[in-house]
Structure 1
Amino acid sequence: MAPWIVASLYLIDLALKIVALGVVPKNRRPSSGMAWLLLILVVPLFGWVIFLVLGRTKLGRRRNEQQAEVNALVAERAAHVPTLERDFPGPAYVRSVATLSRNLGAQPVTPGNKIDLFPVYAESIAAMTAEVDKASAWVHVEFYITAWDNVTGPFYEALARAVDRGVKVRLLFDHLGSKGIPGYKEFTARLDASGIEWHPMLPIAPFKRRPDLRNHRKILVIDGMVAFTGSQNLIEPGYNKPANHKLGREWTELVARVEGPAVSALNLLFCTDWYSETEVKLTDELGTVPTPAGDIEGQVIPSGPGFSTENNLRAFTLLLYSAQRRLSITSPYFVPDESLLYAITTAAQRGVEVELFVSEAGDQFMVYHAQCSYYEALLRAGVRIYLYPAPAILHSKFFSVDDDVAVLGSSNMDMRSFVLNYEVSLMLLGPEVVAEMRKVEDNYRSISKELLLEDWLTRSRGAAYLDNVMRLTAALQ
């Protein structure tokens, strides 16, 4: 090779590295910036290509404007709602978290809610189907993954019956999340034939935005009076994948049925996402105000790339630091950033009883091994880790703090859920709802195996190496 070619390649390589040092760290957490820099310094050209495709988390000016418009509307309508600092008799930290989430996500805490938990997959779909059959005006459906299959068929048939009797049915699903499910073309054809109005969320647009920015929310609202939210996607529990069926692998979930003012907050998120995807404002549907149905105070916490403040991460971290006696966490994908890891380990080290429920076996190779890289630090800090037995996948996403707070929704405790995904979390206040959550936790504990530090340290060096490599990839946000 000619000397001038060698010199040119060297200068290009050097230039790519120097530019990266000044560009990559901008407005990025140090761990993420260092991971990107390491990739670019090791393989400059390839690293730059990946960074240009996946290194941006912005959705674009139009979507940001829409989110700001909705936040302003919510703040205006919620101005008359008393702040929790004056009204909630519980501990001060609850009031602090509620104020934080209201300032970031515009949603206030509302009293008068009734919550029913569904930890059984088939029962939650049956409950949703029954409510759709009662619909008289409109039904709003939003799920990350959905399919018309042998389990969800009754639900979609109920939606079609609703359309036939004059109910307006609107459906949103994540483009990438649902398109990868077998039978997608047949699914959309059946939707067209049913009269359901549907739109894919965040359709792939490589030159407009990062392709892996996804809408991960799970929301169902009927007539503005009843809503469902939680971890469960609208699909059969093996995700229509032959490999899962062969293994006997099914997903375990937790879904909440909601009545009361929190329904309006969940419906607002659907209407926001509908506006983003269609440019249509559902003004009439936003005017529906449910009556009080119970005595639980609740707050909807929206988060995602449309917010620059990582709403769920801030709220979760503050709640974990505030725990005084007991902290129970269930997360299928537990890949925390430094702040969340410190909050959990610090809680255990200061005497809080901390437990973490995760799956014994993972369904996502890279995420599972990145998650495993944290187990040693957690166990040494005193966190008790329970492995939900394979072949099931523990997909529920919730946690409880002392006897004061329960949080459930679509958000994992990983950087994807904190930065790259639109998520919805529902914070519920009071010992009654926490007691119901404890029943779910107790059931998980009764069938799970506790992971002990001495056993974990006997795993092979190859497995530990793989875990650490995957941990590095998790920081490429």
Structure 2
Amino acid sequence: MRGVEIYPFFTIEQAWPNWVIFTLLAVDMVIRIVALGWIPHNRRPSVALGWLLAIFLIPYVGILAFLLLGSAKLPKKRRNKQTLINDFFREQTQGQAIIGDSAHMPEPLSTSAQLNFDLGALPMTHGNSFDLHTDNHECMERMADCVDAAKSYVHFEFYIVAIDDTTRRLFESLLAAHERGVEVRILIDHVGSLGYPGYSELVKRLDSSGVHWRRSLPIRPWRGEYQRPDLRNHRKILVVDGELAFTGSQNVIDRSYNKRRNLRKGFQWMDLSLKCTGPVVNELDAVFITDWYSETDEFFDTSTQPRLEAPQNGGIQAQVVPSGPGFEDENNLRLFNHLIYNANRTIVICSPYFVPDESLMHALTTEARSGVEIRLYIGETSDHWVTQRAQQSYYDDLVRAGVRIFMYHAPTVLHSKFLIIDDEVSIIGSSNMDERSFAMNMEVTMFIVNKEFTERMYALEAEKYAPNSVELDVERWRDRPLLHKYVENVARLTSSLL
């Protein structure tokens, strides 16, 4: 069969009728033209450009991927639930962003509290206390101790969970609490735990126990449950009786994550978690209740709803900052940028996945060039190959501006997430410094304003992080092979495909 010329330089066999070929080319052109005006709507330019690049290179695959993954917001019904709960909590606090004495707070910090309250509806409170936990396994033992002492209820919400030799006691404590009449509610992200040894066993145990548990953000279209599959609940929260809570970066799984590849390489995850008492316990509970309501339509009766009341002074001031695709704004990113721009002397960042958007890069490089000392802790190794390559593409710009980069030694997988600013600001939570945590994951962050606690954080940096890290050798880094730079830049493009 003779070839048919479609373009001057291309000849293809006429496998299809001419009208089919010309129709496909016309649709291809329409996709490109429509995408130019449609994709940028209400998206950051970097995100829009990433999608446009994918669509122009592979139009049919690109547009299908966009239709499946292009919206970084949860369904409107779920966002409406979030708005309803936010209004409920604002009514409880009578619109106060800071409960109690705030006269001593510097203006940048009081405005940070106001920003967080406007975005997330939870206030800054006095009367809190915190214990730091740096050992994953020891922390889970303390969680189990607290669950064993529970009298009224336990709320459990984590991204990755599995039964193994390390976590077994905690899950036995949860089921024992349920059996003795404690109201136990469990939320587990539907996708986060899939594929981890011990998860299937856990599901069977939970199903047979009769405990109240739900999959968070389930992807089960045959049951009418569907949203963009990579929008996930990445929060880590345990609340016991409204009296104490745990939160931070830690999942409920052995620190090797039980996979053969990790065991073979000797990978051990290093996390940072908080045990909390005071009014922030009720704020963490408010985040759990919102997520439970979103999944079940069950809103607890008034006897079990958290009351956002707080002492007027004393203790540590702190505020819980929820964020994610259920909100209209990127709450955590706005807080980080606001605090960074108001730093005067020192910024310390620890993030396992550091792939900043343009606004965060501007904030960090601006402050570094202004004379603020910035120390960035990242892992020498990572469990996400593409993310690590994308992260590496930012090193040159950061060190050129004066940011010092410290790599935590392998085979430890650095998973702690914290931010320290000047003398009295500490941030600890589940949020990484990347596009996924800003726009696609449901996260929870603890914003702490206290000099003594911040001193503890600097001491932790000096004792646990600095001695086990090596500063990036800038000259050696810049001499890396051209192929490495190419791969990093390609990986960097993928970070904006929200």
Q: Normalising by the residue count of structure 1, what TM-score does the alignment of the two structures yield?
A: 0.97
How many Å separate the matches in 2 of 1:81 and 1:432?
Answer: 25
The Cα of 1:289 is off from its aligned counterpart by 6.6
> What amino acid is aligned across from residue 285 of structure 1 in structure 2?
T
Matched, 1:92 2:110: no
SS at match of 1:178: coil
- Post-superposition offset of 1:3: 4.6
Given the alignment, which residue of 371, 375, 391 partners 1:355? 375
Tell which deviates more after alignment, 437-446 or 379-388: 437-446
Q: 1:340 aligns with which of 360, 367, 376?
A: 360
- Residue 317 of structure 1 is matched in structure 2 by 337
Residue 244 of structure 1 pairs with residue 259 of structure 2: no
SS at 2:253's partner residue?
Answer: coil
Measure, in 2, the Cα distance between the counterparts of 1:73 and 1:447.
46
Matches of residues 259-270 of structure 1 in structure 2 within 5 Å? 259-270=277-288
Separation (CA, whole Å) in 1 of partners of 2:93 and 2:409 = 44
Partner of 2:203: 188
Note if 1:308 corresponds to 2:323. Answer: no
Query: For the structure 1 residues 82 and 356, does the alpha-carbon distance in structure 2 shift closer, same or farther, using more than 3 Å as the test?
Result: closer
Matched with 1:18 is 33
Tell me if structure 2 keeps the 8 A contact 1:84–1:99.
no
2:252 equivalent in structure 1: 234
Q: Of 73, 77, 80, which residue of structure 1 is paired with 2:92?
A: 77
Q: Aligned partners of 2:288, 2:326: CA distance in 1, in Å?
A: 14
Alignment partner, residue 102 of structure 1: 117
1:66, CA displacement in angstroms? Answer: 0.7
**CA deviation profile, 1:159-217 (whole Å, cap 9, x unmatched):** 12212221111110100001221233221111233342211100115684211110000
How far apart, in 2, do the equivalents of 1:168 and 1:86 lie? Answer: 35
For residues 242-274 of structure 1, give each alpha carbon's deviation from its aligned partner in whole angstroms, at most 9, with x where no partner exists: 110111101100000000001000000001111
How do 1:101-120 residues align onto structure 2 when only pairs under 5 Å count? Answer: 101-120=116-135
The match for 1:466 among 487, 492, 497 is 487
Which amino acid in structure 2 is aligned with residue 369 of structure 1?
R
Whether the 8 Å contact between 2:97 and 2:117 is mirrored in structure 1 is no
TM-score between the two structures when normalised by the length of structure 2: 0.93
Structure 2 residue identity aligned to 1:150: D
Helix, strand or coil: the match of 2:375? strand
Higher helix residue share: 1
Q: Tell me how large the CA RMSD over aligned residues is.
A: 1.7
Q: 1:286 aligns with which of 298, 305, 318?
A: 305
Distance in 2 (alpha carbons) for counterparts of 1:161 and 1:152: 14
8 Å contact kept, 2:430–2:445: yes
1:455, 1:193 → 2: CA distance?
Answer: 57
The structure that has the greater radius of gyration is 2
TM-aligned CA deviation for residue 5 of structure 1: 4.2
Structure 2 unaligned blocks of 5 or more? 1-13
Matched with 1:169 is 184
Distance 1:289 1:39 in 2: 46
Candidates 243, 268, 282, aligned match of 1:225: 243
**In structure 1, C-alpha distance between the alignment counterparts of 2:475 and 2:60, rounded to whole Å:** 43
Pick one of 334, 355, 364 that aligns with 2:384: 364
The answer as to whether partners of 1:84 and 1:98 remain within 8 angstroms in 2 is no
Pick one of 283, 292, 302 that aligns with 1:274.
Answer: 292
Structure 2 CA distance for partners of 1:85 and 1:315, relative to 1, 3 Å: farther
Alignment of 1:417-428 (within 5 A): 417-428=437-448
Please give the alpha-carbon distance, in whole angstroms, between the structure 1 residues aligned to 2:149 and 2:226: 41
Cα distance 1:166–1:6, how it changes in 2: closer, same or farther (>3 A)? closer
Give, in whole Å, the separation in 1 of the partners of 2:334 and 2:96. 23
Residue 139 of structure 2 is aligned to residue 124 of structure 1:
yes
Shift of 1:421: 0.6
Alpha-carbon separation, structure 2, partners of 1:388 and 1:133: 35
> In structure 1, what is the equivalent of residue 8 of structure 2?
none
- Structure 1 gap segments, 5+ residues each: none
State the identity as a percent: 46
